[in-house]
């Protein structure tokens, strides 16, 4: 019997994934040249579907990386000359910060404990920070920052480049790319694909910054996947290196499926399922929502503190072929994580809740 994965990524594959994969195999997508019209058509299609899904304007390019982690490095190399600013409240926002330190950037950080979230009013962006790095959704702690708060902050600091981690929430957040310069996500989360592809959205302002930094004698923007090279190739829907064409194809097909349902419906369904889970946690004696403030509760990765040992809860669910995520890092023993991605239905979420009740 097949398991249902409620893990926060890699996660349950989207129900249409296998049929798209079969078509891709029949059409020999794994063998086509990345310099062929067939590949350019695939890139163009995926680009179009993501633009519709996430309302991405023509001012922004869409690029494919090996992973979202790679995007951290590319963003910092290409868009930060000296100083970056990081909102850190979990392991992944921390890692974005750690990358900046490793790249010898002058880093500023505003920290909150695991489980707490940011609002625009909390935040003073340092004067010389060039890029503001923040997580719309902190996968490790189940905390979100509302897009309205992100937009408010950006409007307060319109000249700073904003780079938004939506790795484990896209396409849920309704980011306004009219003002947000860059964002990124992975396909093994809410898009219901196997891992192996990161998606980087970056604006012309990011490109201009990269082109300016590229002229420096002292600083390097890197050699691989630099934004100017990515953008140059992107103009004809090609990539600098041989890309994961198969996954780019599959991402386009799943984004098309999402568009058929409609992004508003997907967002509503996500919120309804999240409400069901949080309602259960709030009424349970055994489980509590780790995130206390309702506005900071992630809609896509729910973290619950459990009175029973987490390992027991996870093992019992596994017996029923439901795979639940463990708590992150030091919360491994005391928390579970439940992904709420489009691949799992309201019925599956209800079945999981019934299981957790036992």
- Site residues, a second copy (CB under 8 A): 2-3, 5, 7, 9-13, 17-18, 21, 25, 28-34, 65-70, 72-73, 76, 98-100, 102-104, 186, 188, 193-197, 217, 220-226, 240-247, 323, 325
Residues with Cβ within 8 Å of residue 335, at least 6 apart in sequence = 290, 303, 304, 305, 306, 310, 326, 327, 328
Distance CA 271, CA 41 (A): 34
Min CB(171)–a second copy separation in Å: 19
Distance CA 162, CA 210 (A): 14
- Compare residues 11 and 153 and give the one whose CB is closer to a second copy: 11
Min CB(284)–a second copy separation in Å: 25
Residue 30: both structure tokens together:
């794994």
- Compare residues 101 and 351 and give the one whose CB is closer to a second copy: 101
DSSP state at residue 245: H
Evaluate whether 95 touches 329 at the Cβ level (below 8 Å): no
187, 234, 258: which is closest to 10 by C-alpha?
Answer: 187
Min CB(2)–a second copy separation in Å: 7
- Compare residues 153 and 227 and give the one whose CB is closer to a second copy: 227
- Compare residues 60 and 189 and give the one whose CB is closer to a second copy: 189
- Compare residues 76 and 164 and give the one whose CB is closer to a second copy: 76
Evaluate whether 74 touches 221 at the Cβ level (below 8 Å): no
- Compare residues 103 and 109 and give the one whose CB is closer to a second copy: 103
Min CB(256)–a second copy separation in Å: 19
Min CB(179)–a second copy separation in Å: 27
- Compare residues 8 and 61 and give the one whose CB is closer to a second copy: 8
For residue 357, count CB atoms less than 10 angstroms from its CB and return exposed for 0-12, middle for 13-18, buried for 19 or more.
Answer: exposed
Min CB(121)–a second copy separation in Å: 31
- Residue 164, SS3 per DSSP: strand
Residue appearing with tokens 């195999």: 25
Q: Alpha carbon of 235 to those of 63, 64, 226, 229, 295: distances in Å?
A: 11, 14, 15, 10, 40
Min CB(36)–a second copy separation in Å: 9
For 116-140, give the DSSP string. ----GGG----TT--EEEEESEETT
């Amino acid at each position: 019997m097949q398991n249902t994965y409620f893990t926060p990524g890699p996660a349950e594959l989207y129900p249409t994934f296998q049929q798209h994969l079969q078509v891709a195999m029949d059409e020999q997508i794994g063998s086509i040249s990345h310099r062929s019209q067939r590949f350019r058509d695939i890139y163009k299609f995926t680009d179009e579907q993501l633009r519709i899904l996430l309302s991405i304007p023509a001012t922004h390019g869409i690029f494919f990386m090996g992973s979202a982690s790679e995007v951290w490095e590319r963003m910092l190399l290409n868009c930060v000359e000296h100083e970056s600013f990081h909102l850190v409240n979990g392991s992944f926002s921390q890692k974005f910060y750690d990358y900046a330190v490793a790249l010898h950037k002058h880093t500023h950080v505003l920290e909150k404990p695991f489980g707490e979230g940011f609002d625009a009013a909390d935040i003073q962006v340092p004067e010389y920070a060039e890029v503001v790095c923040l997580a719309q959704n902190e996968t490790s702690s189940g905390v979100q920052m509302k897009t309205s708060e992100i937009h408010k902050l950006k409007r307060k600091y319109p000249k700073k480049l904003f780079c938004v981690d939506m790795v484990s929430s896209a396409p849920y957040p309704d980011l306004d790319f009219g003002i947000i310069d860059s964002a990124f996500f992975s396909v093994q989360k809410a898009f219901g694909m196997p891992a192996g592809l990161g998606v980087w959205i970056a604006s012309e302002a990011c490109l201009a910054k990269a082109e300016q930094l590229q002229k420096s004698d002292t600083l390097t923007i890197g050699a691989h996947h630099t934004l100017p090279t990515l953008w140059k190739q992107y103009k004809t829907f090609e990539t600098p290196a041989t890309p994961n064409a198969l996954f780019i194809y599959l991402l386009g097909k799943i984004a098309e499926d999402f568009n058929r349902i409609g992004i508003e419906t997907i967002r509503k369904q996500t919120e309804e399922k999240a409400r069901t889970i949080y309602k259960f946690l709030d009424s349970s004696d055994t489980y509590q929502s780790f995130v206390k403030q309702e506005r900071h509760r992630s809609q896509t990765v729910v973290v619950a503190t459990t009175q029973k040992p987490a390992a027991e809860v996870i093992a019992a669910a596994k017996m029923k072929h439901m795979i639940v995520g463990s708590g992150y890092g030091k919360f491994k023993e005391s928390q579970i994580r439940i992904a709420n991605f489009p691949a799992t239905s309201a019925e599956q979420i209800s079945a999981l809740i019934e299981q957790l009740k036992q």
